[in-house]
Amino acid sequence: MPPRELRLTPTLFHLLLCLADAPKHGYAMMAEIEERTGGALRPGPSSLYYSLGRLEDAGLIAETDAVAATDDAHEERRRYYALLPAGRRRLKEELAMMAQVLKHARSRGIVATAR
């Protein structure tokens, strides 16, 4: 069955955004999202991995072992995920759409202009 076009929920979007600069492991993404959204979005471990699984199935991210474990040596081996080209494309499209919406909103004076 060909994978259907995945609808990007906020969690999925933020996960893609997390991976835009470097491959990361699950817990790091969890912490990063919480910090970036000021705690508005706090994916729990179950939904985090559920979401990562969906992104992986959709061909947007992939598990990678290209990263050496820089964390504490006694930590269990962690799974790192990296953005695939399709994921990067998808993220860009999403951001472009957001920028478009924001520009539109500003021109109507709905949102304050950027400083």
Binding site for other proteins (CB under 8 A): 1, 26-27, 30-31, 42-50, 52-54, 76, 78-79
Nearer to other proteins, 27 or 111 (CB): 27
CA distance 103 to 86: 26
Nearer to other proteins, 16 or 30 (CB): 30
Find the shortest distance in angstroms from Cβ 33 to other proteins. 12
Find the shortest distance in angstroms from Cβ 88 to other proteins. 23
Find the shortest distance in angstroms from Cβ 13 to other proteins. 17
The residue among 110, 51, 44, 55 whose CA lies nearest residue 88 is 55
Chain-centre distance of CA 101, in angstroms?
20
- Could you give the 3-state DSSP secondary structure of residue 36? helix
Nearer to other proteins, 47 or 107 (CB): 47
CA distance 115 to 26: 34
